[in-house]
């Protein structure tokens, strides 16, 4: 149950991407441990409800993680489609000048100019 809850919390804050690397395996572990707990509960062991909670939170954490992955992929592809020319110019600028900070500043200015209505 605890593993499922922690995985669910990590999945919810998955916008930062790094927690997703922990939420997905944690969700899988929560499901496996919950299933083992349910099996023992059917044999007479206590805390069957906690095992079920572990299974449910593990499944929900995997679903939330999948939603975040889709969101990140869709937004990333839209960004690249919209600003592919600027990204190419950024790479060329870094190669030519060797000054990534200056090039990032130019890139940021160009992107914000396009975003302003």
What pLDDT does 84 receive? 85
CB 11 within 8 A of CB 25: no
Distance CA 52, CA 35 (A): 8
Backbone phi and psi for residue 51, each to the nearest 5 degrees, phi listed first: -65, -40
7-21, 23-37, 66-80: least confidently modelled range: 7-21
Model pTM above 0.75: no
- Of 72, 76, 75, 66, the closest CA to residue 16 belongs to 72
What pLDDT does 19 receive? 79
As to burial, measured by CB atoms within 10 angstroms (0-12 exposed, 13-18 middle, 19+ buried), residue 44 is exposed
What pLDDT does 107 receive? 84
What pLDDT does 52 receive? 93
What pLDDT does 35 receive? 94
CB 31 within 8 A of CB 54: yes
CA 42 to chain centre: 35
Q: State pLDDT tens for residues 33-53.
A: 999 999 999 988 888 899 999
């Amino acid at each position: 149950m605890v593993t499922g809850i922690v995985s669910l919390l990590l999945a919810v804050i998955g916008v930062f991407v790094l927690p997703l690397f922990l939420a997905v395996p944690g969700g899988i572990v929560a499901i496996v441990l919950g299933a083992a707990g349910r099996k023992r509960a059917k044999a007479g062991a206590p805390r069957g409800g906690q095992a079920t909670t572990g299974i449910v939170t593990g499944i929900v954490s995997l679903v939330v993680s999948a939603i975040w992955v889709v969101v990140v992929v869709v937004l990333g592809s839209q960004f690249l489609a919209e600003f592919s020319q600027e990204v190419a110019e950024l790479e060329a600028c870094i190669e030519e000048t060797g000054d990534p900070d200056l090039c990032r500043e130019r890139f940021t200015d160009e992107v914000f100019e396009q975003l302003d209505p």
